[in-house]
Structure 1
Amino acid sequence: MFRRRHKSEDAVEQLAEDAISADETADDVEGSADSESETPNDVEDSVEETEQDPADRVGLPPAPRPDGPWDDSELESPNEGRVDLGGLLVPGVEGMELRVEVAGDAIVAATLVLGNSAIQLQAFAAPKSEGIWSEVRDEIATGIRSQGGLVEEEEGPLGWHLRAQVPVQLPDGTQGVQLVRFVGCDGPRWFLRGVISGQAAVQPESADVLEQVFRQTVVVRGEAPMAPRDPIVLKLPEDAQMVADGGVGAPEGEASRFGDASLSPFARGPEITEVR
């Protein structure tokens, strides 16, 4: 279904574009008698050495993914039970509405809507030897705070994520906030980002299905050379049903820091909806 989201609904996505842009070590602790002879200064220095510096999180290798998301090379039948969007294989859920999001001639993101909740999925190229999610989290948080929003970093079922209250303009022109949750995962030469919104962002107990969708998504990176942070382009499923629906779209021509495509990574363009 071709649609465009109202400006008030696009505010969160536009803020996220501004936020996203281009070995933690520890000393072994020996239980020897020497530890009893430590001076107060020695203890203080030891505590300082164990405190985590945000800069130390940049350039870390991708974390293990025992429960997904998956690379297409890791599964025997990656297409089974999933909608083939080319760069992403998205698990099918009963009652879901799947919207693909277009920038120019390229499809670069997919949003799965289920009831009053949704998760937007977008994959990017990443360096082979290091993950970028820690760095991206910091950039998202900085961008939202600069707009007057609130951000809290938490560790949850999908690892470290951001829970944010983002300022938005309501339909009546007044200012409000929208609650969203940013999740991410580093894979082999790719990074998958998810944005959970609606009821699932407000009530964590309602997010189980969408979290499973994120875990069971398969990224098809391909072997073609790509610059880090370039979006992995998607395609329409063969049985997609398209229905025109007029509306006001998001501004075009805004450069994404993940690549040269004119796209706000969270701004929704025309949509092709598949109802399962």
Structure 2
Amino acid sequence: MGLFSRRRDEARAVDTDEETTPAGTDAAAGAGTGAASATGPWDAAAAPDTPRIDLGSLRVPAVDGMQMRLDQPREGGSPVALVLALGGSTLELRAFAAPRSDGIWEELRADITAELTRAHASLKVLQGPHGTELLAQVPVRSPEGDRSSVPARFIGVDGPRWFLRGVLQGRAATDDEAAAALREVFDDVVVVRDSQARPPREVLPLHVPGAAPAPVVENLPGLAPLEPGPTIAEVR
């Protein structure tokens, strides 16, 4: 689903601040929408100094038994999303460029709502730990042609010059107890916004683990969150 493609008539220009802003020198997450939070997701400048797996624009905590996959467009190119699997559910993470002063989650919720409505999904607006969330029942069709629906819970956090979207799938989308472990991971994610000028909604770059030791590569059977991806890893 192209839920985050940039509008062709985007009114806001590329973020082209005159001063040089090295990665990680912005204020803590939440600067675009109010006071900094006592928990994450974190901006790189405000994150606690704890070990995490470095994937470029995202740094995630290492959790025993958690599997990871980097997803990239079907036509190839750089990864655009990170999928984490834990406890039978998944969490998809995508980081986007955003304006320095304005959050984009409100307008993105409207776009998600419109697109999922066109796909005949049912939607509920809920309140979660980070504010407004969307719970969708997304229609799917099996290879045999059987129709059903799968739950997906959209979470959004506006940070300084970045936006982080999380999508919970599986039991975690509808069961708070099942979601607890993945929400804890979400709250400890660090977003690294580079100094490059980028238009709002541009995906921030991801790469395979480099700064941290690469986990062992294994298969992830039985899970197909969103799109298939090239890289699977389990944290041990």
Q: Residues 63, 184 of structure 1: CA spacing in aligned structure 2 closer, same or farther, 3 A cutoff?
A: farther
Q: Which runs of 5+ in 2 are unaligned?
A: 8-31
Q: Secondary structure at the match of 2:96?
A: strand
Q: Aligned ranges for residues 200-239 of structure 1 at < 5 Å?
A: 200-238=172-210, 239=214
Residues 192-207 of structure 1: matches in 2 within 5 Å?
Answer: 192-207=164-179
CA distance in 2, matches of 1:200, 1:150: 17
Give, in whole Å, the separation in 2 of the partners of 1:244 and 1:194. Answer: 22
- CA 1:19–1:232: 2 relative to 1, 3 Å: closer
1:191 has 2:163 as partner = yes
Which secondary structure does the structure 2 equivalent of 1:136 belong to?
helix
Q: Alignment partner of 2:79: what SS?
A: strand
TM-score, normalized by length of structure 2?
Answer: 0.79
Aligned length: 203
C-alpha distance in 2, partners of 1:164/1:81?
34
Match of 1:178 in 2: 150
Q: Which residue of 2 aligns with 1:267?
A: 227
Is 1:135 aligned to 2:95, yes or no?
A: no
Judging by fraction of residues, say which structure has more helix.
Answer: 1
Tell me which residue corresponds to 2:42: 70
Structure showing greater Rg? 1
Tell me how large the CA RMSD over aligned residues is. Answer: 2.3
Secondary structure of the corresponding residue to residue 140 of structure 1:
helix
The 2-side partners of 1:94 and 1:20 are apart by: 34
**SS of match in other structure, 1:106:** coil
Residue correspondence of structure 1 range 31-42 to structure 2 within 5 A: none
1:166 equivalent in structure 2: 138
Aligned-residue offset at 1:18: 4.7
Q: Give 1:170 deviation, angstroms.
A: 2.1
Change (3 A) 1:166 1:20: farther
Pairwise CA distance, 1:160: 0.8
- Seen in structure 2, the aligned counterparts of structure 1 residues 133 and 148 have a Cα distance that, compared at 3 Å, is same
- Residue 88 of structure 2, aligned match among 100, 116, 128: 116
Moved more, 158-167 or 95-104: 95-104
User: Is the contact made by 1:19 and 1:144 (CA closer than 8 Å) also made in structure 2?
Assistant: no
Runs of 4+ in 1 over 6 A off after TM superposition: none
**Percent identity (aligned):** 40
What amino acid is aligned across from residue 148 of structure 1 in structure 2? Answer: H
State how far apart, in whole Å, the 1-side matches of 2:43 and 2:152 are: 26
Could you tell me how far apart the structure 1 residues matched to 2:102 and 2:84 are?
28
TM, length-normalised to structure 1? 0.68
Matching residue within 100, 110, 121 for 1:149: 121
TM-superposed CA distance for 1:115, in Å, is 2.2
| Deviation readout 1:168-224 (Å, 9 max, x if unpaired) | 112321111111100010000000000000111131221111111111100001111
Residue 90 of structure 1: how far off its partner (Å): 0.7
Shift of 1:92: 1.4
SS in 1 for 2:80: strand
Q: Residue 125 of structure 2 contacts residue 133 of structure 2 at CA under 8 Å; is this kept in 1? A: yes
Cα distance change on mapping 1:19 and 1:88 into 2, 3 Å: closer
User: Compared with structure 1, are the counterparts of its residues 63 and 134 closer, same or farther at alpha carbon in structure 2 (3 Å cutoff)?
Assistant: farther
* Whole-angstrom CA distance in 1 between matches of 2:35 and 2:55: 25
